[in-house]
Chains A and B, each alone.
Chain A
Amino acid sequence: MSTFNIMIVGVGGQGTLLASRILGNAVISEGYDVKVSEVHGMSQRGGSVVTYVKFGDKVYSPIVDKGEADIILAFELLEAYRALPYLKKGGKMIINDQQINPMPVITGAAQYPQNIKEKLSQVCDITVVDALSMAEKAGNIKAVNVVLIGVMAKNTDIPYETWTDTIKTTVPEKFLEVNLKAFDLGYNSKQ
């Protein structure tokens, strides 16, 4: 009866919300029960943001507890590191290889941890992708979120077309082409 739990983490403004919505809608078209927990408000202003997507036969709680995420999709390195305690034993992290300094690092009050990727790879299964370059290649750096959805999609049983159909219904018409391209680049990237 257990659910499949995905946690999406990033920095406010990176488009994690759209990513979780695409994910949620793709999952329902496969007939699962699903819950998507979003973040709105203050933390969208450049703070740490966390959204959860859970699916299965029946989902109760919309949030994912520590040690329970099957996949963590991290839009930024430090946020990946912060989310580590949420990863299930044997779970997987998909990480966008981007560093965004938080204000305490900018002001010098704290240090950005060194070698995050190496440290994470020692304790869990990680896939690191350069989503920013892929988004650029697709035509808009804002499409990082959809690139990452593409990478993540490859790790599920949900067919390619379900994803692209979902993107068609969730993304505004004028950004559709860029987003479909971004998805494809992520989906077909080396993992």
Chain B
Amino acid sequence: MKKLLLGNAAVARGAYEAGVRVVSSYPGTPSTEITESIVQYPEIFVEWAPNEKVAAEVVIGSSVAGGRAMSCCKHVGLNVMADPVFTVSYIGANAGLVFCVADDPGMHSSQNEQDSRHYAKASKTLMLEPSDSSECKEFTKRAFELSEKFDVPVFIRLSTRVSHSQSLVELEDREEIELKPYEKNIAKNVMMPANAVKRHVLVEKRNLELIEFAENTDLNCIENNNGKIGVITSGICDMYAHEALGDKVNYLKLGMVYPLPEKKIKDFAAMCDKVYVIEELDPFIEEHCKAIGVQVIGKDVFTMLGEYTPSMIKKAVLGEESAESISADEAIPVRPPVMCAGCPHRGTFYVLKKLGLTVSGDIGCYTLGAAAPLQSVDTTICMGASVSAAHGMAKARGDEFNKKLVSVIGDSTFIHSGITGLIDIVYNKGINTVIILDNSITGMTGHQDNPTTGKTIRGEATKQVDLVRLCQAVGIDYVTVADPFDVKNFEKVVKEEINRQAPSVIIAQRPCALLKTVKYKGHCVITDACKKCKMCMKLGCPAISLEGDAVRIDTTQCNGCGLCTNVCPFGAIKKED
């Protein structure tokens, strides 16, 4: 049966058919739906881990113990899992071990545009790159076979357009794979220097075997159209190139992007007068070609920035212009993402902005607190950095600066890697104030449960991390829970805590407005009492805008959360059913 599947869902299907037993991941766009799709397969144990490092270790454990396992993350998630990944390269895989990583060229939802192929090279593992959903499924199954055959962890590299495009996939049955025997093997599984020294020798040997495999595998295929021009591609770029260039050129499509073949590339180049490498982001394949002495054209005509398109390729390779198009002859305002109507974070940032505080920010929906009109957030680096970076800021600039400084961090992000920063503050005598934005869910990535929500990925009830007691346990004596929509009280609490000569935590508690359990009713309206002071406009609520000089609330957008009624100094905003 053929089915229309998202690339991510197809990876999940591949894992299912390959008899995978354990999947552990931390969400991250564009990888999240892989793990979410696993939920439909009761045969597989699946979980959201607190962070990518934990997830990687869980699946490594499963592999060592004999069960096929997979962990999925976004490109920056791979930075977090890098530590176990580099060493498990030495240990290898008892049962098939796969890490699926999704890059985000164009940064649709990311804080950087890193190219994860470098990790495969740096860790001396193996990396496959599918170009559509059908290959997503097939390559995932191949990844497990290769992992066991070569005793190597295997990466599957996706990119946003592969992860988030649907195409047809042929579904097959699950193969029930027996557990591999578990045997204690200290020389292979205990990576202390004496053992690791010996394993490194095997890693280098394995890498040569993988290169040999890359020369012969059908994952790397040549399509000879008797053209003068040759194109080397992989992943989504192969699709773009085929659309742009059709059968006018010859192709070498690399389904395996690390290690890369040598002879195959040379043979291909010998067939053509001129060879282009078409790859988004870094010149990874291009540099390999140049290193083995094959002259190719790559980043001198293609950009390292953002996503490619077929028309871009057509122009660069064939010199043909793209289709004619009409455009408006005036500036069209951009529409950046915003905090939703009813978002609990809006109350928090309204207060922080009003108090003029420096805000050490983090990653989540609340990063949008940096956007106009709130523009409250000062820094965003990576998950967890709000807490630790604020500690550094305070140590560099002193207590006076610290009195105007807070960290903001979401519940999921706090568990991911904020708690370690908080321990650092307590241990090293910081007096920072950390605001945990507890909206009862992992919001930005589309509503995943996490250890603070009391539910597993399958929606089963489980123990819930008690944030208050957790903070107290690491040594925070002042933990206050406050509702960010009660702006008066929230302001009072923030003022108190930033002036305290001790570290403190404020838990801003109010659930995400998009949660099904949140039922705001009716909507808000501006009454005649409005004095046009425009205080409510400072909230940056998408439902409130100016019409002429009158404020208007768009009832199709307003969900009746009532935050604006709390900030209006004249009580001129009323709720209606």
Contact = CB atoms under 8 A, between A and B. Distances in A.
Contact of B322 (A61, A65, A84): A65
B293 interface: no
Interface in B291-341: 309-311, 322-328, 330-340
Interface residues of B, number: 60
B313 to A, nearest CB: 10
A71 interface: no
Interface size class of A (residues with CB under 8 A): 35 or more
Contacts of B239: 60-62
A41 B326 contact: no
Given A28-B168, A37-B165, A41-B108, A47 B338 contact: yes
B372 A109 contact: yes
B164 A38 contact: yes
Contact of B325 (A86, A100, A103): A86
A12 to B, nearest CB: 6
A103 B371 CA distance: 9
Given A39-B164, A61-B240, A103 B309 contact: no
B564 interface: no
A107 B372 contact: yes
Contact of B310 (A36, A61, A78): A61
Contacts of B167: 33-36, 59, 62
B355 interface: no
B445 interface: yes
B542 A103 contact: yes
Contacts of B498: none
Q: Most chain-B CB neighbours within 10 Å: which of A42, A47, A67, A87?
A: A42
Interface in A3-52: 11-13, 21, 24-25, 28, 33-48
A139 interface: no
Contact of B556 (A25, A63, A88, A141): A141
B75 interface: no
A137 interface: no
Interface string B154-171: 000000010011111000
A13 B372 CA distance: 20
A102 B336 contact: yes
A63 B444 CA distance: 24
Contacts of B556: 98, 132, 141
Contacts of A110: 331, 333-334
A41 B365 CA distance: 10
A110 B30 CA distance: 31
A35 to B, nearest CB: 5
Contacts of B330: 113
Interface string B107-135: 01100000000000000000000001000
A89 to B, nearest CB: 6
Contact of A38 (B165, B168, B244, B554): B165
B310 A42 contact: no
Interface string A99-132: 0111111111111110000010001100000001
A44 B33 CA distance: 15
Contacts of A25: 4
Contacts of B195: none
A40 B29 contact: yes
A106 B335 CA distance: 11
A36 B3 CA distance: 13
A79 interface: yes
Interface string A72-89: 000000110110111111
Nearest to B238: A60
Contacts of B444: 41-42, 45
A47 B337 contact: yes
Nearest to A86: B325
A37 B164 contact: yes
B477 interface: no
B544 interface: yes
A89 B324 contact: yes
Given A65-B309, A113-B330, A12 B164 contact: no
A66 B340 CA distance: 30
B545 A105 contact: yes
Given A38-B166, A60-B243, A106 B540 contact: yes
Contacts of B331: 110
Contact of A13 (B161, B325, B340): B340
A42 B109 contact: yes
A18 B32 CA distance: 18
B326 A85 contact: yes
B356 interface: no
B335 A11 contact: yes
A63 B324 CA distance: 17
A100 B331 CA distance: 17
9 contacts: A45-B339, A45-B444, A61-B244, A82-B328, A87-B325, A101-B545, A103-B336, A110-B331, A113-B332
Give the 3 A-B CB pairs with smallest separation, nearest first.
Answer: A67-B323, A41-B109, A41-B29
Given A45-B340, A63-B310, A112-B333, 6 more contacts: A43-B108, A43-B337, A48-B335, A81-B332, A105-B545, A123-B326
